[in-house]
Amino acid sequence: MPNIKIGIDLYGGDNAPDCVVEGALFALQNKFLSPDELVIVGDEISQEDKKRLNNVEIIPAKDLITNETKPTEVLKLKESSMYIGCEKLKKKELTAFVSAGNTGALFSAGTFVAGRLEGIKRPALVLALPSKNNKPKILVDAGANAEVKADHFYDFAREGIAYANFLNITNPRVAILNIGSEDEKGNSLVKEASDLLKEKKNINYVGYVEARDIFDDTCDVVVTDGFTGNNVLKTMEGTAYFIMHELKETIKQSGLFTKLGALMLRSSLKSLVNKIDYRSYGGTFFLGVNGILVKAHGSSDAEAIANALYVAYRACKFDLLSKINL
């Protein structure tokens, strides 16, 4: 494994650049990254912070990418932090790049600037979800590819398996998300994809899984198109927030004993919220890109940025890209 160099997008995310700087400092102070392993792409940093970031390489970047920037526009913004970071991935000057910026723009930069891994037609957004047995469930694609072909499911399966291995899941079971578990259910796309995965000896394919069974111990990797995957993710997120909101409202309107009981359960409820929050894993991956590309949540605070850097560091040490069976 070559020397680790992890780039962080200074201008990515709702709380940039301050939280990105603080997250980088947090990573250095906790010593899982050394100054010579970290590169900050973007130079809007105070002199005081530059002193605190002593020996960390800082690369200037001019063009700004916002949430309104269209994915294709990033390819013209060659002096943006996102473009520069992905270009350095391509040149192997970075082993990983982390950004909390525009998801579509990052995927576009990763795919067309850093480039695809040889043998991969479609990179995908790969993330870990909670499940009943406390073992993470891998979702691929979580929103990168709205329209796909059947053979792209083979790419998604291999990307998901590599990430499952990264999370210590051996011989992960792969399932296709469908409206039913029976072979005759679903549209022509999932049927064709299912037939394809059945033929692949390097895939432990177990058939279809319904959305309501995602949290059960029926499979380890769930593959679907990005349109469906992103809707699943946002439905889960919205449902979790709705349940917590209704629970709080019910407690407010209840008597003293209920409120005392809720107070006693506060730490347990907080633990539950953390468990159902996929962001607790620190960052998600665009896998299939020619480099380790980590997408941090857009609203990441300093701790979340540090977590994303740590995930990227672990992926470098694990040599994640080599685990994608090409």
Please check the confidence at residue 242 and state whether its pLDDT lies above 90. Answer: no
Q: How far apart are CA 93 and CA 268, in angstroms?
A: 44
Q: Is the peptide bond before 141 cis (omega within 30 degrees of 0)?
A: yes
Contact between residue 322 and residue 40 where contact means Cβ atoms under 8 Å apart: no
Please check the confidence at residue 195 and state whether its pLDDT lies above 90. Answer: yes
Cα dist from 180 to 38, 190, 191, 207, whole Å? 46, 11, 12, 10
Token code pair at residue 12: 């990515």
Token code pair at residue 111: 């795919």
Q: What is the pLDDT of residue 244?
A: 76
Tens digit of each residue's pLDDT (9 = 90 or more) over 211-231: 999 989 999 999 999 999 999
- What's the rounded mean pLDDT across residues 220-247? 87
Query: Quick one: fold of 1-120+288-326?
Result: Isopropylmalate Dehydrogenase (3.40.718)
Tens digit of each residue's pLDDT (9 = 90 or more) over 275-321: 655 555 557 899 999 999 999 988 888 988 999 999 999 999 999 99
Three-state DSSP state, 177? strand
The radius of gyration computed from the CA coordinates of the chain, to the nearest angstrom, equals: 21
Tens digit of each residue's pLDDT (9 = 90 or more) over 12-68: 989 999 999 999 999 999 888 999 999 999 999 999 999 999 889 999 999 999 999
In angstroms, the first-to-last Cα distance of the chain is 19
Enumerate the β-bridge partners of residue 125: 286
Share of the chain above pLDDT 70, in %: 92
Three-state DSSP state, 222? strand
Instruction: Quickly count: other Cβ atoms within 10 Å of residue 313's Cβ.
Output: 22
Q: What is the pLDDT of residue 267?
A: 67
Total count of residues recorded for the chain: 326
Q: Which ranges of 9-58 would DSSP assign to H, the alpha helix? A: 18-29, 47-52
Cβ density class 215-228: b for 16+ within 10 Å, e for less: eeebbbbbbbbbeb
Tell me if domain 1-120+288-326 and domain 121-281 are identical in fold.
yes
Q: What are the φ/ψ torsions at residue 35 (nearest 5 degrees)?
A: -55, -35
Q: What is the pLDDT of residue 268?
A: 62
Residue 19 buriedness (CB in 10 A; 0-12 / 13-18 / 19+):
buried
Enumerate the β-bridge partners of residue 98: 8, 294
Residue 184 buriedness (CB in 10 A; 0-12 / 13-18 / 19+):
exposed
Instruction: Say which range, 64-73, 176-185, 191-200, 277-286, has the weakest mean pLDDT.
Output: 277-286
Question: Among residues 284, 296, 287, 292, which one has the least CA distance to residue 315?
Answer: 292
**DSSP strands (E only) in 183-314:** 205-209, 221-223, 284-287, 292-295
Q: How far apart are CA 44 and CA 106, in angstroms?
A: 20
Q: Which CATH number fits domain 121-281: 3.40.50.150, 3.40.718.10, 3.20.20.70, 3.40.50.10800?
A: 3.40.718.10
User: Taking the model in full, what pTM does it have?
Assistant: 0.89
Looking at per-residue pLDDT, the higher value among 2 and 155 belongs to 155
Q: Where are the domains of the chain?
A: 1-120+288-326, 121-281
Q: Is 110 left (phi over 0), alpha (psi -120 to 50) or beta?
A: alpha
Tens digit of each residue's pLDDT (9 = 90 or more) over 59-95: 999 999 999 999 999 999 999 999 999 999 999 999 9
Enumerate the β-bridge partners of residue 39: 7, 57
Q: How far is CA 263 from the centre of its chain?
A: 34
Q: How far apart are CA 59 and CA 81, in angstroms?
A: 8
Share of the chain above pLDDT 90, in %: 70
